[in-house]
Structure 1
Amino acid sequence: MQEPDEPAASADVIVVGAGPCGLAAAIATKTAGHRTIVLERSSVVSGLASYPTYMTFFSTAAKLAIGGIPFVVATEKPARRDALAYYRAVVEHFDLDVRQYERVVEIGLGSRGLGVGSGTAGSERREVGGGGRGGGSDEAPGFLVKTAPRAGNERVIRANAVIVATGYFGAPNKLEVPGENLPHVSHLYREGHQAFRQDVVVVGGGNSSVDAALDLYRCGARVTLVHFGPTFDKNIKPWVLPDMNGRLADGGIAVRWNSRVHAITPSEVVIGTAPGEERLAAAHVYLMLGYLPEVGLLRDLGVPIDSRTGVPAHDPLTMETPVRGVFIAGVIASGYDANKTFIENGRFHGELIAKRLGRREAGGGRR
């Protein structure tokens, strides 16, 4: 792949992902004097925007606040709509350079250019700029970030450091069963109006599946929950569980414990249970199975990814990976276990990164 002929734009820091933790990192680096650009393939906090329309957060508003800007709501816990408005206001307050609908295609080491091959130069790249963390120059080698704006041609931005904060919604966990890609099957749930008086199957035993099942029930759907375990996951929101247990007890929502989906057809979900196979009528199917972190950009840069946990190699005190100048922030630091990092603790990753980068004076250089 050849690089574009036009001069590249430049920044001190590029943040990939405009979720709450990515925005918090951008605030921290900008406040420290680094010219920061945030690149987002969708809209600001698009992960939160994909939550159910009437969802209420587990965390209090204070624990979702970033950049020292108070998050004030009338209720104890904020709703999705409150959070979307808050994070938009934070972007405006700090005048962050957020480039929405601009997908990052590739990140290359500045001295090597783009298109050097996936993950082949990791060991070399860790040595550029002074040899590893133990000695030599503390300067990162610089990066070329190739992007694809939704409207316009591909372009390249140069940066001294890159923060990957691509969040939780990388790729959905798949059942890998026949019919999973049918049009009435979804891995996201927004609202239940379209399922009024329809048979619906919700697969999963966590917060997302419980929230979806309850909302569908209230919208007049006939809901069956299917879960491979004998009960709900242990991290269910405590104020939701009594409501769900009540619907199971009165028959408002049906459940199939210890059951696995074998196939999905245009009108049914075929499950395996202890007594044998069962067919459940289903006009809509929601597979609320969680997501896998999006680590392709890191892997291509040579950052090791733990095959068991999915955690990118990094120093938790600085959030820097073994590739000098490449950092991670937010839930991506938890790998496959999204229950370890939330907005309420991932929002502080940016401060660790900014401390590692140092403060840049107006005339350049670090203090």
Structure 2
Amino acid sequence: MGLDITYDILIIGAGPIGLAAGLEAQKEGLSYLILERGCLVNSIYNYPLNMTFFSTSERLEIGGVPFTSLNAKPTRSEAMEYYRRVADTFDLNINLFEEVQHLQPEGEIYHIQTSKSTYKARNVVVAVGFYGIPNLLHVPGEDLAKVRHYYFDPHYYFRQKVLVVGANNSAADAALETWRKGAEVTLVVRQPELGSIKYWTKPDLENRIKAGEIKAYFNASVTEVRAQEVDIQTPEGKVTVANDFVLAMTGYQPDFSFLEKIGVKLTEDEKRYPQYHPDTMETNLPRVYLAGVICGGMDTHVWFIENSREHAIKIVRHIKHAQEAAKV
């Protein structure tokens, strides 16, 4: 059990920003523990096998540790190698595959119940990502095994009829990669045109669509999925296409239920912005902080590794100053 230690900071999430918070705490001489319900940098692990970051490697660095890459844009495997080496080099205090279930304040201390133990901490940093809960299509047949909200390896779809839903990077990568591995690909885009796609990918997909190698329906949506076909509503009417797999690359959302359960206030509109002070990252709960993409609510394209690394610095600086002020 962890009750014999009261940590200065307990960090929920071992993604890049959670690791950055641990590095800052260590640098400032604060005791800390990082808890992660999955593997190290779990969101990156769940990215597609051949995924390439939009950012350059130096913008993904944390703790001042250089991230060298063989490519202009680093890959998923390079990023996992980098963050593993950071965790090992600094011997970060991390418990993996341990899910935080409950947070209970008692005076100036938080009691944290997990799937394995109980801990005490003066401050809590929530640095969880948004890759665990997919945005659903909400159509009949979405519960069929053929419907996937995560895409990993294109080889699996060789000689299969694949329908990809989405307009942005994930959908573009899935469509192009599965097509190149021998799939018959249909793309369904709700908008009138392709969305925000990496500049080296977008013209490739546009050319495949123009050549008729990938069939695309714009201003369209899936209305029903069945065992061997899919219905698509288009501006010209309903279209039924033969289908083996549906890759719904419709994005993901943070675990709002966890934030609500521990008492973090959220806006009541569709954006579900959590309440926090931008200078300190402290929420409406005293000494509970947010870091990383969770800060954007449903706006999951606002915060990234490169622009939320500073959250860790703000948080640890605020905690350190509060501790020093309490000693005066």
TM-score scaled to structure 1, two decimals? 0.85
Is the 1:33–1:360 Cα contact (8 Å) retained in structure 2? no
Gaps of 5+ in 2: none
Instruction: Report the residue type matching 1:238 in the other structure.
Output: Y
Matched, 1:243 2:204: yes
- Give the distance between the partners of 2:223 and 2:4, measured in 1 at CA: 51
Taking a change above 3 Å as real, the CA distance of residues 291 and 9 of structure 1, as seen in their structure-2 partners, is same
Matched, 1:176 2:162: no
- Give the distance between the partners of 2:126 and 2:206, measured in 1 at CA: 40
Compare 322-331 and 351-360 and name the one that shifted more. 351-360
- Give the distance between the partners of 1:307 and 1:195, measured in 2 at CA: 41
- Give the distance between the partners of 1:323 and 1:282, measured in 2 at CA: 49
Identity of aligned residues (%): 38
Gaps of 5+ in 1: 112-140, 150-154
Is the 2:102–2:262 Cα contact (8 Å) retained in structure 1? no
Alpha-carbon shift at residue 106 of structure 1 (Å): 0.8
| 1:111-126 matched pairs, under 5 angstroms | 111=107
Which among 265, 282, 285 is matched to residue 243 of structure 2? 282
Compare 291-300 and 195-204 and name the one that shifted more. 291-300
Question: C-alpha deviations, 1:270-325, integer Å up to 9, x for none?
Answer: 11112211112111111001111113332223221012222110001110001111
Matched, 1:62 2:23: no
- Give the distance between the partners of 1:187 and 1:285, measured in 2 at CA: 8
Matched, 1:97 2:93: yes
Instruction: Report the residue type matching 1:279 in the other structure.
Output: T
Question: C-alpha deviations, 1:99-124, integer Å up to 9, x for none?
Answer: 1000111111124xxxxxxxxxxxxx
CA RMSD of aligned residues (A): 1.8
- Give the distance between the partners of 1:109 and 1:93, measured in 2 at CA: 33
1:146 maps to which residue?
A: 113
Question: C-alpha deviations, 1:3-46, integer Å up to 9, x for none?
Answer: x9x94543211111111111111111221111111110100101
- Give the distance between the partners of 1:281 and 1:10, measured in 2 at CA: 59
Structure 1 counterpart SS, 2:84:
helix
Alpha-carbon shift at residue 171 of structure 1 (Å): 1.2
Taking a change above 3 Å as real, the CA distance of residues 8 and 174 of structure 1, as seen in their structure-2 partners, is farther
Structure 2 counterpart SS, 1:30:
helix
Matched, 1:268 2:229: yes
2:192 maps to which residue?
A: 230
- Give the distance between the partners of 1:209 and 1:276, measured in 2 at CA: 23
Matched, 1:199 2:161: yes
Which among 275, 289, 292 is matched to residue 330 of structure 1? 292
Structure 2 counterpart SS, 1:200:
strand
Runs of 4+ in structure 1 displaced over 3 angstroms?
A: 6-10
Matched, 1:187 2:183: no
- Give the distance between the partners of 1:223 and 1:338, measured in 2 at CA: 27
Q: What count of residue pairs does the alignment treat as equivalent?
A: 326
Alpha-carbon shift at residue 245 of structure 1 (Å): 0.8
2:124 maps to which residue?
A: 162
Instruction: Report the residue type matching 1:187 in the other structure.
Output: H
Structure 2 counterpart SS, 1:278:
strand
- Give the distance between the partners of 2:39 and 2:3, measured in 1 at CA: 27
* More RCO (CA 8 Å, sep 6+): 1
Matched, 1:21 2:50: no
| 1:15-94 matched pairs, under 5 angstroms | 15-94=11-90
- Give the distance between the partners of 1:65 and 1:215, measured in 2 at CA: 28
Structure with the bigger percentage of helix: 2
Structure 1 counterpart SS, 2:176:
helix
Question: C-alpha deviations, 1:140-174, integer Å up to 9, x for none?
Answer: x210110004xxxxx21001011001112141111
